[in-house]
Chains A and B, each alone.
Chain A
Amino acid sequence: MFSFCTDPAALDGLAWLSCYLTTGKHMAFYGAFGTVLLLLAITAPLALAFGFAGASAARGPAPVSWLGKGYIAIVRGVPDIAFFLFFVIALDQMFEWVRHEVKCPGWDQPIYQGNDFIVCPEAKLPLSTAPQWVHEGYGFFLAVLTFAIVFGAFAANVLYGAMRAVPRAQIETAEAYGLSQGQTFWRILVPQMWVYALPGLSNLWMVLIKATPLLFLLGVEDIVYWARELGGTKTPQFTDYPHGDWRMWYFLALLVFYLIFTRVSELVLDRIMARLTLGQATAAGERQRKAAAA
């Protein structure tokens, strides 16, 4: 990157380090932090949406509620890593199969030929002609979707609990005013449930952050992937910057990153909680009222 980096072997100390830390590989490593943040930013609302759907379903009439409760119970009962290991391929095959059915009705060959999973070329996702960034984007999308499905179940559990925590009297009052079921749900229940849901959702956000090191299982080149790759022993034959086993230092950097990230999240979420409880009929809201009065 710097002009003096043409012959790293001749450098030492800080100059060497500044060249080493700005190789293309390191740039990819720094970029991977962005990937992780982007994934979190997209996954969180999506998981919330899955959670909302799951929780609403679990409250619904019999057959629908089984679906909702089954979704919550199964995903929560199984280690997330087990899902990560086969969900991506499963989702990918499912999408391609659906597209295959839609786009190639005349296809006469079986989709499973022995071990091979073959759909018509038009149904491939992404198309084999698509540029590399589309492939990477699609892989990223599958990772987001997998995360959202898994953590959506946790969110559903939180929201389901929160919906039940809204005082019954509120719902009864709404019914007494002649609000329909839909109106009661959207205008009374949903606005009030957030304060009950927030502690659980904050917790879930922390869990989500701490699950991101597993991203490499989903085929995303994340920070763990690069830390492993960069930290490993490098022999002079294949690099200008040979070094010993430095994985420890790279993982230390990751550790610090995660500690800072969770700490900042905690502070921000505390503030949101304080905002939300303002004027609410909960113990925390009561404390705030007293503190303000005194």
Chain B
Amino acid sequence: MECWDTIADYALRSLGYGERLLPRSDFTLCQQVTLIGSGMIWNVYFGLVALLSGFFLATAVAVGKAARSAWIRKPSEWFIFIFRGSPLFIQFFFAYFAFLSLRSQFEVFDPFTSAWLGAAIVLFFNTAAYSGEIFYGALQSIPKGDMEAADAYGLSGLHRFRRITWPTMLRLAWPAYTNEAIFLFHATTLVFFSGFPARQQKGDALYYASYFADKTFNPFVPYPILALYFIAVTLMIIAAMGLINARLNRHLPQAQRRGIRLRPGALLAR
């Protein structure tokens, strides 16, 4: 079948494999679905890298914001304020410029103006700030009784944090964190839209969608395809985060386990 050839040619085009030239005329639906899907590789890459690495920084920032010492608290607060208080669009733009000027000074920064590294760093900081705020909120609402129980068992310091504080924090924060993960994946569409340029026509899903919108002069096909891909990704995130949530709450009796209910206050986005 013809479509299989298209898939073979273009499924990995966003990474630079397969057919070098993008389709130029006689655009088929198959081409659009394949290439936009190929671009999704980048969206998933940015989302996963930022989410996994951001998770750790977020924990650190949350603990930092809850710290008593102003030397630790203030920087954490400012970090969260700057990344949550400004649009990601402008953060991308700035990061690109900052990396450009660093690059002219130091050779080490050469790869930073490429999206795969530069944009991933911005998203990493950005999601760390948003999740940090969520985790901070959760830290504040850990039941007093849990901590008292830990004290009674003689747990203290890092040990108490690892065994009691951190798991409880995650449990409380999980629904909001799920939301953050969804929005982070959505935000990856901004990568090639502000600041970071696409090289050799290797771009994300939105890049290919706008390529087709431009070539076919018809935005009503590629953008809905893009939308469907993202709905699929969103559903997958909800499923994966639900599994983790079940694991986090596995010690609770069945009746008390909460599924992820996205609570009204839990909405967080950029």
Contact = CB atoms under 8 A, between A and B. Distances in A.
Interface of A: 74, 76-83, 85-86, 89-90, 115, 154, 157-159, 161-162, 165, 196-197, 199-200, 203-204, 206-207, 209-214, 224, 247-248, 251-252, 254-255, 258-259, 262-263
A259 B264 contact: no
Contacts of B86: 210, 255, 258-259, 262
Nearest to A254: B90
Contacts of B84: 206, 262
B81 A259 contact: yes
Given A158-B264, A161-B264, 15 more contacts: A82-B206, A82-B227, A85-B209, A86-B223, A199-B265, A200-B265, A203-B269, A224-B89, A248-B97, A251-B90, A255-B86, A258-B86, A258-B87, A259-B81, A259-B85
Interface in B71-117: 81-82, 84-90, 93-94, 97
Nearest to A163: B264
Contact of A79 (B82, B90, B97, B230): B230
Contacts of A212: 87
Contact of A204 (B82, B193, B267): B267
B241 interface: no
A213 B219 contact: no
A212 B88 CA distance: 11
Contacts of B266: 200
B264 A77 contact: no
Nearest to A259: B85
B89 A82 contact: no
A210 B88 contact: yes
Contact of B90 (A76, A158, A199, A255): A255
Interface in B173-198: 182, 186-187, 189-190, 193
B235 A115 contact: no
B189 A81 contact: yes
Listed from nearest, the 9 A-B pairs whose CB atoms lie closest are A161-B264, A79-B186, A199-B265, A86-B219, A77-B231, A200-B264, A262-B85, A77-B234, A210-B87
Nearest to A228: B93
A155 to B, nearest CB: 9
Most buried by B among A77, A115, A196, A204: A77
B265 A251 contact: no
B87 A81 contact: no
B140 to A, nearest CB: 11
B268 interface: yes
B206 A81 contact: yes
Q: Is the interface of B mostly helix, strand, loop or mixed?
A: helix
A66 to B, nearest CB: 16
Most buried by A among B190, B268, B269: B269
A248 B267 CA distance: 32
Contacts of B213: 85-86
B118 to A, nearest CB: 16
B267 A82 contact: no
B262 interface: yes
B231 A78 contact: yes
A213 B90 contact: yes
A81 B269 contact: no
A203 B82 CA distance: 16
A61 B89 CA distance: 40
A157 B262 CA distance: 9
Given A85-B219, A254-B90, A79 B187 contact: yes
A165 B262 CA distance: 12
A280 to B, nearest CB: 14
A101 to B, nearest CB: 20
B267 A203 contact: yes
Most buried by B among A79, A204, A254, A259: A79
Contacts of A82: 189, 206, 209, 223, 226-227, 230
A161 B264 CA distance: 5
A81 B190 contact: yes
Nearest to B176: A203
Contacts of A154: 267, 269
Contacts of B226: 78-79, 82
A206 B230 CA distance: 23
Given A78-B230, A200-B267, A211 B81 contact: no
B264 A213 contact: no
B217 interface: yes
Interface in B157-186: 182, 186
B200 interface: no
B217 A258 contact: no
A244 to B, nearest CB: 13
Contacts of B88: 210
Contacts of A259: 81-82, 85-86
Contact of B85 (A79, A213, A247, A263): A263
A130 B235 CA distance: 46
Most buried by A among B85, B223, B263: B85
